[in-house]
Amino acid sequence: MRKRIALVAHDSCKREMVDWVEANKSILALHEIIATGTTGRLVEEALNNDVPESEKVCVRKLKSGPLGGDQQLGAFIADGTIDMVVFFWDPMTQQPHDVDVKALLRITVLYNVPMACNRTTADYLISSPLFADENYQRKEKSYDNYINRKIE
């Protein structure tokens, strides 16, 4: 089953994302890739390097993160469009859109979407037997208690 994999990388992590994509090219090429801004362009180039024209992969490119790409991705997660997120973010640099980054991290937890924030975790996710399991159904938590609770 084709998975819909979102890829995001802060500027200082883009090289690491490209390296990871190149190392996992054969697996990623079998799935639908959605990425923010420049990351999408770089990932598409990495996936299509030395590949015949008939086998080229098209990456769905969203806006740049600070220009709304993180929010677009959050909307896709909320509507069930994303199966997995790989988000290489820079923990040492303040981002001008930190609130969007935090919202994206929150929404993946809220909707129980697996997320890797570093290369090791990304390697674990993509090599997990559950990644290849067509019958695996991610469980979504009910938040009805939060929605229907009375404010005192």
The CATH number of whichever domain residue 9 belongs to comes to 3.40.50.1380
The answer to whether 70 is a known catalytic residue is yes
State the average pLDDT for the chain.
92
The distance of Cα 84 from the centroid of its chain, to the nearest Å, equals 6
Catalytic residue among 11, 19, 50, 70: 70
Within a domain: 85: yes
Task: Judge residue 104's burial from the number of C-beta atoms within 10 Å of its C-beta, 0-12 exposed, 13-18 middle, 19 or more buried.
Answer: buried
Within a domain: 68: yes
Amino acid at 94: Q
Within a domain: 140: yes
Within a domain: 152: no
SS3 57: coil
Q: What is the pTM of this model?
A: 0.91
Within a domain: 112: yes
Within a domain: 103: yes
**pLDDT score for 1:** 84
> Which structure tokens are listed for 31?
């799935």
How do beta strands 32-36 and 4-9 pair?
A: parallel
Task: Say if CB 62 and CB 72 are below 8 A apart.
Answer: yes
Which domain does 128 fall in, by range? 4-147
The distance of Cα 8 from the centroid of its chain, to the nearest Å, equals 6
Within a domain: 32: yes
Long-range residue pairs from 127-133, CB within 8 A, at least 24 positions apart, any chain: 131/3, 131/84
Low-confidence spans in the chain with pLDDT less than 70 = 150-152
- Going by C-alpha positions, the residue among 8, 13, 58 that lies closest to residue 37 is 8
**pLDDT score for 151:** 63
Overall domain count for the chain? 1
Within a domain: 127: yes
**pLDDT score for 97:** 72
Task: Give residue for tokens 């995001």.
Answer: 8
Render pLDDT for 18-41 as a digit per residue (tens, 0 to 9).
999 999 999 999 999 999 999 999
**pLDDT score for 91:** 85
